[in-house]
Structure 1
Amino acid sequence: MTMDQDELLKVRDRYDAEMRRDAVPDAANARVERVGAVVRQTVPGLGWNGVLWSDLDADTADAEIAAQVAHFRAHADAGGDGEFEWKLYSHDRPADLGDRLRAAGFVPEPPETLLVGRTGDLAALSVEPPEGITLRVVTDEAGVDLMMEVHRRAFGRERPRIREQMLNLLRDEPDTIEAVLAMAGEVPVSAARMEMRPGCSFAGLWGGGTDPQWRGRGIYRLLVAHRARVAAARGIPYLQVDASDDSRPILERLGFGVLGVTTPYLRRR
């Protein structure tokens, strides 16, 4: 059953507190810190660098944006990645924060809908694999490379950051990731992962992509249900997705509710 508006607002507040304001690093070598009115993550190599949360107003926003640009420029000068992201949510303030980010040289990526569902409800879904499809849990580099092959076909681009992140998690923190492939015989046709940070109420569903020739057969639903069962066994109450326009209607039919819209603002060196 989909959450009503009052419950969604309470869940959004919990999400902001746990996953943004009090965020934990998404990799063993990452550092999350609160600096003034901003929470940011800094990581060497190809990991995710960016701003997770902010508490700004019209008087403080521009100076804080400049401070984060300077921080990540220094990080790049020291050998870090030259790109970072300001993850903006539709309820963030000030209301013109997106305009201010663009004026500072950030480029918005396509917006996504932040969806949340109750893990218990989703784990109870009765979803049978389509004929000829089996699931394979990914535990090693060979499996990660099969996932990247699916992503190339599904999204039309390489994803070296995701590959590096997954390899690091499987090596350093295997209990925090569930990566799974849908296989047609020995051919990977769909792939997805779930990230579960210690002590968090939300498991994040990421990277769900299916080969265009295999879409419309229920494989995406199958991967959601599989990950929901894993999260339920861990006692995690909610699943969270940054959904594309293609995924959103499927997830809403499964019972996910809308918390808002999130837009990645990227700044490259």
Structure 2
Amino acid sequence: MTTELTDAELLDAFHRQIRLSGREDEPAPGIVRDTDGPVARRYPQEPGTSYCMIESPRGLGDDPDHWIRRQVDFFTGRGEEVEWKTYSYDEPADLTERLARAGFVAEDREALLLGEVEGLIHDVELPPGVQLRQVDSDHDLGRVDELMRTIWGPGRDDGALTREMRADPEALDVVVVEESPEGPVLCAAWLRYSPGTDFASMWGGSTLPQWRRKGLYRATVAYRAQLARDRGFRFMRLDTTPDSRPILTRLGLRHVADTTPYVLDARRGA
């Protein structure tokens, strides 16, 4: 029997195993991951073909503005939009104010939820005629892209799941809820694994508006938790919006910190 961790212990495990070890963003085809002093960066080899992200899990030392300026110069030189992912416990304590002064703009805050995988496994009854399954074919992944375009509009990461699946099929599981394999995807979600750690992470979970509040998202949560447990992962991580947070906290996940993206748009002509 394992002892349940406190919120502080869960956050410490996440910080050590995921952030400090550079596992916040897993490798993907055509993506560069490097460091500039205390700053960890992710950006595409070919500018403008995928999203760029920065974070600073070790803090920014004695001269934070120096490292912030270096990132502004770097991504301005590439002509890209970049997100600096901040956590509510990051150092220095006034990091977000310094980013704002440097031209970064805050986007919507999300909650970092952590918890035991076991607590997320439960029975969910789907509506009649609806099924949930794993997918790995290009056809099905293309249907997931279509769902994302329908809900969120066109995006520059079209086909990203397909590329990620081809590069490392063992690092990702994608699930869909549908009435028919030839019809539209009603809800899609995916699960990423961080080998060598105790953590898996849930992403996606987008549902067509007319199919919301029918248990589809909750079913994907339970199914993905079971997949993670079967592969030996103990903890689950999610960054969640206000819409999903009540569902997940009722299931046992805990709100241990907040994360806010600060975005600098250095795209030419933006």
Identify the TM-score tier after normalising by the shorter chain.
0.7 to 0.9
Question: Residues of 2 paired with 1:173 and 1:40: CA distance?
Answer: 21
Q: What does residue 109 of structure 1 align with?
A: 107
**Structure 1 or 2: more helix by fraction:** 1
Q: What does residue 132 of structure 2 align with?
A: 135
The offset of 1:150, in angstroms, is 2.0
Instruction: Report whether the alignment pairs 1:230 with 2:233.
Output: no
Query: 1:200 pairs with 197, 201, 204, which one?
Result: 197
Instruction: Report whether the alignment pairs 1:165 with 2:160.
Output: yes
Q: What does residue 18 of structure 2 align with?
A: 19
The offset of 1:117, in angstroms, is 2.1
Q: Normalising by structure 1, what TM-score?
A: 0.88
The offset of 1:116, in angstroms, is 1.1
Instruction: Report whether the alignment pairs 1:100 with 2:98.
Output: yes
Contact 2:113–2:253 (Cα < 8 Å) also in 1: yes
Q: What does residue 121 of structure 1 align with?
A: 119
2:56 match: secondary structure? strand
Instruction: Report whether the alignment pairs 1:52 with 2:47.
Output: no
2:13 match: secondary structure? helix
2:145 match: secondary structure? helix
Question: Residues of 2 paired with 1:17 and 1:164: CA distance?
Answer: 31
Question: Residues of 2 paired with 1:54 and 1:64: CA distance?
Answer: 13
1:2-61 per-position Cα deviation (integer Å, ceiling 9, x unaligned): x98x61111111111222121144314433334322222233243342213343368421
Divergent runs of 4+, >6 A: none
Q: What does residue 68 of structure 1 align with?
A: 71
1:167-198 per-position Cα deviation (integer Å, ceiling 9, x unaligned): 22111111111111100233311111111132
1:129-158 per-position Cα deviation (integer Å, ceiling 9, x unaligned): 22221113221332222112222343x322
| Percentage of matched positions with identical amino acids | 33
Unpaired segments of 5 or more residues in structure 1? none
Cα 1:196/1:58, change in 2 over 3 Å: closer
Query: 2:89 pairs with 88, 91, 104, which one?
Result: 91
Query: 2:173 pairs with 169, 178, 196, which one?
Result: 178
Contact 2:126–2:214 (Cα < 8 Å) also in 1: no
| Alignment RMSD (CA, Å) | 2.1
